[in-house]
Amino acid sequence: MPHVVLVITKGEAGGAQTHVLELCRALQGRVRFTVVIGGDDTRSVLGQALNQLGITVLVLPTLQNSLNPLKVLASVRALLAHLRVLQPEVIHAHSAVAGVIARLAGKLRQFPVVYTVHGFGFKPQAPWLIRTNAWLAEAVLAAWTTRMVCVSAYEKELAARLPMPPERVSVVHNALADVPWRSDMAAQPPRLVMVARMAAPKRPDVLIEALALLAHRGLQPDTHILGGGPDLARHQAAAAPMPHIRLEGDVNDVAERLAQHQIFVLLSDHEGLPISILEAMRSGMAIVATRLPGIEEMLTHEQSAWLVPNTPQAVAQALQTLLADGPLRQRLGQAARDRYEAQFQPEAMAEPVLSLYQQAPLMHTARWPMTRPRRQTQQLASQQANRQSAHLVWSLLGLAMIGLAYAISQALMARGLATVDFGRTVLASLVPYALAAHLLYRGAHMPAAERGPLLLVTTGLPFWLTPLAFALLQQPYSRGALLLTYVLCTFWFWLADQWFLRHRPWRLVYQDPRVPGLLAPWLPVPQGQGLPRIRLLPWPAQGMPPGAALACDGAVVLPAAANTGTSSASANSAPSSAERHHFLTALKLQHIRLYSPESLQQSLTGRMAAETLQNELWQTDGNPAYDLAKRLIDVGVVLALLPLWLPLALLVACGVKIDSPGPALFSQRRTGMHGQSFRIWKFRSMRHEAQDTPQFAQTNDPRITRFGHWIRRTRLDEIPQLFNVLMGHMSLIGPRPEQDGFVQQFAEQMPSYPYRHLVRPGLTGWAQVQQGYAASADETAIKLSYDLYYITHYSLAMDLLIVFKTIQTVLTGRGAR
């Protein structure tokens, strides 16, 4: 069920408000609505009616019928606060000011916006200044309108003047649910009624003048003018000399009041598709109305209504004719009622709007005002490839950061505040910047949750090592320049991460209703800040309009054989073969990337799906070039740190001997690269006793000694494995080696298990920092899913992230153990 936020400027009685109420009634049960009403009236007419339907209503005090920039800004901020919590699929705006606020907020937070026009402000009848300003506002925001709904064909003709593709503009007439009250058209004498807001463009003054003309002719029909507004007092004063005319202000029983009258009047300077005339048609009344394009779509002169020019003389003549001719009144009333039943039932409005709600999330809007939407490029590429492409462009643009730092250095040098070394150091910073950009490029596959630590490590290490490079080359450098370029470059890459990853959600379309349930365990839960990283969009049942470019980053598709092994209920909900074929054809024609739920799980969690572990045909390859480089790094790091870890190892060995009897070292056969068995060395952390069969070490294993708890927590028990690294049995980073006795057992249970032996096992690894120790076969399966992800994606960037997370765990106690 889609969640739609309706935004409307006011909650008072009126046509747009009635439209919103009828729309909510018609789609209740098929759409989850939240309605945002401008103003601070928590008991508005519309709000109370919606509350009776059980619909959530929010007030927006800053949203008023004004385009004052300060008020607009405040309203946009307030609406954005609501949207961050509500996370709707669609925003649906009603009325001009609400349309401005909703479209600005929708653009800022990437929500599709449907905008219903109840009457453009740039109609020819409007004053020039108002007409110009209204057109300018609509033209600027047309680019950010996903779909525009006009309540009449005339409004659509006006929309053609805006820079908006015509296929995005639809006509959906207003509609009303039926009520039991009908006008008694045979009643004598006939009574008149007008329902309108006492403000422009409505013209109750013309009716009052027409009734004054009739009074001079000896006709004084009982007349009620219903509706409030700023001009109510002025019109009451004009009608005061004629006691048969009563202006009663706002009422909440319009349908019952109409049934007490026989002739309905609506006079106006311009209209969209007035709700009040629909109410009169529903009641079966004879209608006198201004001849306007929107009204002519509803009624035909002399067949279902009497349409007249907006002058007192013409109105008086029409009323005199209807007052005198009872059969004419009855014929016009019945014809109006018939047209209401045939064309203006709620279902006729609800179905097209529901279709728009389903299509809007899959449609583009333009990037800039006064432009038209462009087809999204690179939709066939994967998320990782798109992220790498964006990062590459951003990195090249980031050279401007180095240029900015160099310009600053030149300005400081010109003022005598910096030396020549400052400028030279800035230029030399191009090298660590390029290395940082490369590492981030290689780490583009990492889950979004790891992007922060990855950014910290990949930008920090190259700049931290730069002073060492200057020292080896015996070249002077400026620490201030190095710090300046480091801060600027880190900020630049952080900005890219915020923009490309967090600002814009990853939109995925799906057809099979089982997809959200399959992905639910892996989707990040919004915390009220920003957007969810993935937005799932259902494929509309009726498809997309011909030629519409899909605004999505991919599609989630289940394999054709997915029904096998599923329950009958879920299998019955799956699309048919023909529907699936049509869906896939539409995606292929638009070059949309297809994803399986398993591939999305991998991208979101940094681990392989359970199906991969059981897939006997799954396979991957190592990275020989990086394997060689990694081996050199391992040996170099271990030898360079020898003066540190060797004395520490001696101290730990003494501690083990003092804490419990037995040898300080513990050895065991483990399986390494390509399945080769080797002897691993560790400091003993358990009591010294014979072990006949391989066993899992439990979290609170009673065999662990007091000193053993500490060295296991700080990972100091792994120090002797540095000798295994020097001998080539292990690497600093890689999957943890498993006991020989468990390897065959796990390989039988999990066919993909042997692939973890494509690389050297490590002291720490991706599974180790994500999952910690495995105390059972089930936990081993989870660790394997992380290991296989590492085998598929390992790189220097990922290894640096693992080192960072390992150090974080050792020093702070946070993280997996």
571: in domain: no
**What confidence tier does 712 reach under pLDDT thresholds 50, 70, 90?**
confident
Judge if 158 and 254 occupy the same domain: no
* 1-5, 313-317, 342-346, 365-369: range with lowest mean pLDDT: 365-369
Of 440, 474, 498, the one marking the end of a domain is 498
The model's pTM: 0.75
Q: Respond yes or no on whether the N-terminal peptide bond of residue 189 is cis (omega within 30° of 0).
A: yes
Judge if 397 and 528 occupy the same domain: no
376: in domain: no
Judge if 601 and 641 occupy the same domain: no
Percent residues over pLDDT 90 in the chain? 56
Phi, psi of 239 (to 5 degrees): -90, -5
Q: Is the pLDDT of residue 276 over 90?
A: yes
619: in domain: no
List of long-range contacts for 541-545, beta carbons under 8 Å, 24+ apart:
541/358, 542/355, 542/358, 543/582, 543/586, 544/359, 544/362, 544/586, 545/167, 545/359
Judge if 213 and 75 occupy the same domain: no
Q: Is the pLDDT of residue 115 over 70?
A: yes
Judge if 203 and 328 occupy the same domain: yes
pLDDT of residue 813: 63
Q: Is the pLDDT of residue 692 over 80?
A: no
pLDDT greater at residue 267 or residue 713? 267
**DSSP 3-state of 661:** coil
**What confidence tier does 564 reach under pLDDT thresholds 50, 70, 90?**
very low
**DSSP 3-state of 340:** helix
pLDDT of residue 161: 93
Q: Tell me what the mean pLDDT of segment 179-201 comes to.
A: 94
Judge if 49 and 166 occupy the same domain: yes
Name the E strands within 180-227.
192-195, 223-226
Q: Is the pLDDT of residue 350 over 70?
A: yes
Encode pLDDT of 480-507 as tens digits.
Answer: 889 988 998 999 999 888 776 555 678 8
Q: How far is CA 362 from the centre of its chain?
A: 12
* 10-14, 277-281, 361-365, 526-530: range with lowest mean pLDDT: 526-530
Nearest to 220 by CA among 181, 187, 250, 192: 192
Structural domain boundaries, residue 514: 506-564+589-606
CA distance 696 to 742: 10
37: in domain: yes
The answer to whether 121 touches 134, Cβ cutoff 8 Å, is yes
pLDDT of residue 226: 95
Length of the chain: 817
The answer to whether 363 touches 113, Cβ cutoff 8 Å, is no
Query: Count of CB atoms within 10 A of residue 147's CB?
Result: 25
Q: How far is CA 230 from the centre of its chain?
A: 40
CA distance 24 to 74: 27
348: in domain: no
Q: Tell me what the mean pLDDT of segment 703-730 comes to.
A: 90
**Look-up: residue for tokens 């030149």?**
410
pLDDT greater at residue 497 or residue 425? 425
Q: Is the pLDDT of residue 362 over 50?
A: yes
CA distance 277 to 108: 38
CATH number for position 57: 3.40.50.2000
408: in domain: yes
Judge if 400 and 490 occupy the same domain: yes
Q: Which of 169-173, 444-448, 582-586, 699-703 is the most confident on average?
A: 169-173
Q: Is the pLDDT of residue 215 over 80?
A: yes
**Average pLDDT taken over every residue of the chain:** 88
Question: In sequence order, which residues have a C-beta less than 8 Å from that of residue 61 and are 6 or more positions away?
Answer: 38, 39, 40, 78
381: in domain: no
Judge if 13 and 69 occupy the same domain: yes
pLDDT of residue 301: 95
pLDDT of residue 528: 39
Strands of 506-510's sheet in order across: 534-538, 506-510, 554-556, 594-595
Helix (H) or strand (E) segment spanning residue 658 = helix 642-659
Judge if 46 and 170 occupy the same domain: yes
Encode pLDDT of 367-399 as tens digits.
Answer: 888 887 776 655 677 878 888 888 899 999 888
CA distance 752 to 612: 7
Tokens of 188: 């004598």
pLDDT of residue 722: 95
Tokens of 779: 């936990």
pLDDT of residue 714: 83
Of 498, 518, 535, the one marking the end of a domain is 498
Q: Is the pLDDT of residue 814 over 80?
A: no
292: in domain: yes
Judge if 104 and 241 occupy the same domain: no
**DSSP 3-state of 668:** strand
Name the E strands within 406-498.
none
Judge if 209 and 102 occupy the same domain: no
Query: Count of CB atoms within 10 A of residue 784's CB?
Result: 27
Judge if 422 and 449 occupy the same domain: yes
Q: Give, rounded to a whole angstrom, the gap between the first and last alpha carbons of the chain.
A: 41
Q: Is the pLDDT of residue 812 over 80?
A: no
Structural domains in the chain (count): 5
**DSSP 3-state of 217:** coil
**What confidence tier does 274 reach under pLDDT thresholds 50, 70, 90?**
very high
Q: Which of 346-360, 533-547, 561-575, 740-754 is the most confident on average?
A: 346-360
The pairing of strands 245-249 and 223-226 is parallel
Q: Respond yes or no on whether the N-terminal peptide bond of residue 361 is cis (omega within 30° of 0).
A: no
Of 606, 638, 663, the one marking the end of a domain is 606
CA torsion sign for 600, 605, 607, 612 is: negative
Q: Is the pLDDT of residue 152 over 60?
A: yes
Q: Tell me what the mean pLDDT of segment 454-458 comes to.
A: 92
pLDDT of residue 375: 64
Encode pLDDT of 512-556 as tens digits.
Answer: 999 998 888 877 654 434 445 688 889 987 778 766 778 888 899
**Look-up: residue for tokens 């463009």?**
201
